[in-house]
Amino acid sequence: MSKKVERKTCLECGKEQRATEFYKHDAPIYQDKKYPICKTCIKSKLKLDDPMSSIAIESVKDVMLQMNKPFILELWISSIDEAKKTGKKDIFGLYKKNVDQNNADGTWKDSIFEIQEIRENNVKETINTSKNLKVELTDDLINKWGYGYSNEEYLAFERKYNMLKNNYQEKTAMHTEALLTYIRYRVKEEMSTAMNDMKSAKEWGQLAQKAAKDAKINPSQLSKSDLSDGLDTFGQLTRTVEQAVDIIPILPQFKERPQDKVDFTIWCYINYIRDLKGLPLAEYEDIYRFYEERKKEYEEREEIN
């Protein structure tokens, strides 16, 4: 009696195929340990014309993330070398096999986006050509930029964001999202250029150019107000100051002694009223203390709001 061949239907192409035509995975949303998209459909999503390009690596990362399997840069490079030596064309298939054999229990959180390079008998931890560039991967940072980027990329994203944010008015969430999209593409272009991967740099550059247009970052789109630092009105001046320095801690500032005619006039008026009511005259320190108490109440109310 022949053994029944297990079959499965691909969610992408809709074809029923042998279960062996589906990769193993650890994505918790699927109870079946065979990923619901067949190997052929998965490979069609990969951009492996140049397997070491940024675009190729990103496409592999996306697939491994969906499967909840790790992406290990060093293992990806060794799989490329293995394919060259053996003449095999299925680089991703080799990589998936190597991951299953060497990291059977590994999931996406076990990914390693760095390689170990040994130069002059010193072990240096690098990310491509970077030197010990690290950034703390907090939940806020991942929510901001998305999951799956390397430490170097997160660090580059943050650097460029800090450089641009004070000159870009993020009026709505859509403005913020447009700016973040532009930064991702621009950083990818710069990294590809640094690696002399001009093909990928051109593709990322085109995406960045479109994102810049959508986010109104192109110089040709800037208005006269934009080019003059946006200081055409007092409202714009106030907004610019508040973006640069928190206005609450620095204003108002009260002095313990009257410094001008206005201070002195207020002091005289207060004592005039107190004299009419038969109260002792107030020292200016009492007025100063009153200002400070009211300022403190205002700051506490602003923090709550």
Question: For the residues of the chain, what is the DSSP string, one character each?
Answer: -PPPPPEEE-TTT--EEEGGGS-B---TT-SSSB-SS-HHHHHHH---SSTTSHHHHHHHHHHHHHHT---BHHHHHHHHHHHHHHT---HHHHHHHHHHHH-TT--GGG-B--EEEEETTEEEEESTT-SS------HHHHHHH-SS--HHHHHHHHHHHHHHGGGS---SHHHHHHHHHHHHHHHHHHHHHHTT-HHHHHHHHHHHHHHHHHHT-SGGG--HHHHTTT-SSHHHHHHHHHHHS-HHHHS----SS--SHHHHHHHHHHHHHHHHTTPPPPPHHHHHHHHHHHHHHHHHHHHH-
Answer whether residue 95 shows pLDDT above 90.
yes
Answer whether residue 128 shows pLDDT above 80.
no
* Residues ≥6 apart with Cβ < 8 Å to 12: 37, 38, 41
Q: In this predicted structure, what is the pLDDT of residue 3? A: 62
Which of 58-67, 243-252, 284-293 shows the highest mean pLDDT?
A: 58-67
Q: In this predicted structure, what is the pLDDT of residue 175? A: 76
Answer whether residue 7 shows pLDDT above 80.
yes
Which pTM does this prediction carry? Answer: 0.40
Answer whether residue 98 shows pLDDT above 60.
yes
The pLDDT tens digits for 105-125 are: 888 888 888 754 333 333 333
